[in-house]
Amino acid sequence: MRIGIISTVGDCSWAGSEEMWKLFAIEALQRGHQVAAMPQTPIAQSEELTDFRALGGVVFAYNPLNRITSRTVSRGLYSRFQRLKRWRPDIVCISGHPAIPYRDRDIYRLLNAHTGPRVFIIQGNADWFISGQAERDALQALYRSARRIICVSRDNGELLQRQLTSSLPITILPNPIRTRLESPLAWPADLEQMRFATVGRYETFSKCQDRVLQALAASEWKERNWRLDLFGTGSDERYIQDVIRYFGLGDRVRLCGYEREFMKIWRDHHIHILISRAEGLALALIESMFCGRPAVVTRTGGNHELLRDDKDGFVSAGEDPEIIREALERAWSNRQRWPEMGRAAFQRAKEWIPEDLSVRLFQTICNSEC
């Protein structure tokens, strides 16, 4: 079986969303199938694909559309996916934003021309992701005819069906964790300074780092002993640095870049601050919970399905800075309970993420043909 995968995620060197298609691809390669993946160039160049390549996986890189290529693609004069088409996959799998298979017209034409099974991995959704009747009609036809649509949270799947007013062939599977811990990490030794961490792309529209900084700039937080470390990469790095300076938080907040080894982060941090406008199920949340750390999350995607309010952490009702501040205040007032909540978070994550996820993923996508 020849399996072609297109990831539509861009603007970063790697993202948690890539772990699911990679897990599936490695499982397929180990079973003797052929796999070609087409991620955007920075991800195609990532060391995270070393094991995929070592098993014989093929990588074709592509670039996001620009002003010139958008015109030629929209007219049908050019496609970024000719190499994958010439590779002649039996199954095509698209991973990423639910509207991109229509908006990127070369992907749309590739899918419509493909006569074999089509599978979609939806790595996040929100009300505004799909808009306009033409888009709804086109996506409705694509998704109704899919072999399978994998959503990483129940929230994402239910929303997609409402957006497209259709019952769709959806399976809910959580994002995988790279290293499955058998016990939570020891609690950090420093109990004087509370160390917060945010792990996510430097992309404020979806990850809301600027709004968290505004919430933490309130006068009451100036009297408290805390530090926030932001881990990730992304297009808004300079803007986040400017926001830190604007609110006078330079002695409290650091940008730490991308850290692959999540256990390194959570050995020294007490709580995960993960506020977002749109989400699937954040791999970063799964990792911090496996390490035994509570979190503050919003009611977006699957984050609030996994994390139980006042048991494994705290759920913010929204992403307005004032609402975030209320959730952070509630967390701070309960900081003596954080170790207990962290132990509950570990147990919750361990039960939520199946140990045989790669097998389930492979069987869901390939069905009986593989």
Q: Please, which pLDDT band fits residue 370 given cuts at 50, 70 and 90? A: low
- Residue-wise pLDDT tens digits, 300-313: 999 999 999 999 99
Q: Please, which pLDDT band fits residue 10 given cuts at 50, 70 and 90? A: confident
Question: Tokens in use for 124?
Answer: 């996040």
Please check the confidence at residue 190 and state whether its pLDDT lies above 90: no
Q: How long is the chain?
A: 370
Please check the confidence at residue 289 and state whether its pLDDT lies above 90: yes
- Residue-wise pLDDT tens digits, 315-344: 999 999 999 999 999 999 999 999 999 999
Predicted pLDDT of residue 178: 87
Q: Please, which pLDDT band fits residue 191 given cuts at 50, 70 and 90? A: confident
Contacts of residue 337, defined as CB under 8 A and 6 or more positions apart, other chains included, come to: none
Q: What is the mean pLDDT of residues 179-202?
A: 94
Q: Following DSSP, what letter does each residue of 215-266 receive, concatenated?
A: HHTSHHHHTS-EEEEEE---TTHHHHHHHHHHTT-TTTEEEEE--S-HHHHH
Nearest-10 crossing angle of helices 338-352, 283-290:
120
Please check the confidence at residue 4 and state whether its pLDDT lies above 70: yes
- Residue-wise pLDDT tens digits, 106-147: 999 999 999 999 999 999 999 999 999 999 999 999 999 999
319 neighbors 276 (Cβ within 8 angstroms): yes
Give per-residue burial for 65-92: e unless 16+ CB within 10 Å, then b.
Answer: beeebeeebeeeebbbbeebbeeebbbb
Q: Please, which pLDDT band fits residue 56 given cuts at 50, 70 and 90? A: very high
Q: Where are the domains of the chain?
A: 2-176+354-369, 194-352
The CATH-assigned architecture of domain 2-176+354-369 is 3-Layer(aba) Sandwich (3.40)
- Residue-wise pLDDT tens digits, 242-253: 999 999 999 999
Question: What's the one-letter identity of residue 55?
Answer: L
Residue 137 dihedral angles phi and psi, to the nearest 5°: -65, -45
- Residue-wise pLDDT tens digits, 62-102: 999 999 999 999 999 999 999 999 999 999 999 999 999 99
Predicted pLDDT of residue 369: 58
Q: Dihedral sign, CA of 94, 99, 104, 107?
A: positive
Please check the confidence at residue 13 and state whether its pLDDT lies above 90: no
Predicted pLDDT of residue 123: 94
- Residue-wise pLDDT tens digits, 142-157: 999 999 999 999 999 9
Please check the confidence at residue 12 and state whether its pLDDT lies above 90: no
Q: Cα(343)–Cα(337) distance, rounded to whole angstroms?
A: 10
Predicted pLDDT of residue 229: 98
Predicted pLDDT of residue 54: 98
Please check the confidence at residue 368 and state whether its pLDDT lies above 80: no
Is-same-fold flag (2-176+354-369; 194-352)?
Answer: yes
- Is pTM, for the whole model, over 0.85? yes
Q: Which fold has domain 194-352?
A: Rossmann fold (3.40.50)
Contacts of residue 6, defined as CB under 8 A and 6 or more positions apart, other chains included, come to: 37, 38, 39, 81, 84, 92, 93, 94, 95, 107
Q: What is the mean pLDDT of residues 37-60?
A: 96
Q: Cα(178)–Cα(173) distance, rounded to whole angstroms?
A: 15
Predicted pLDDT of residue 270: 98
| Whole-number Cα distances in Å, 215 to 204, 323, 326 | 14, 8, 9
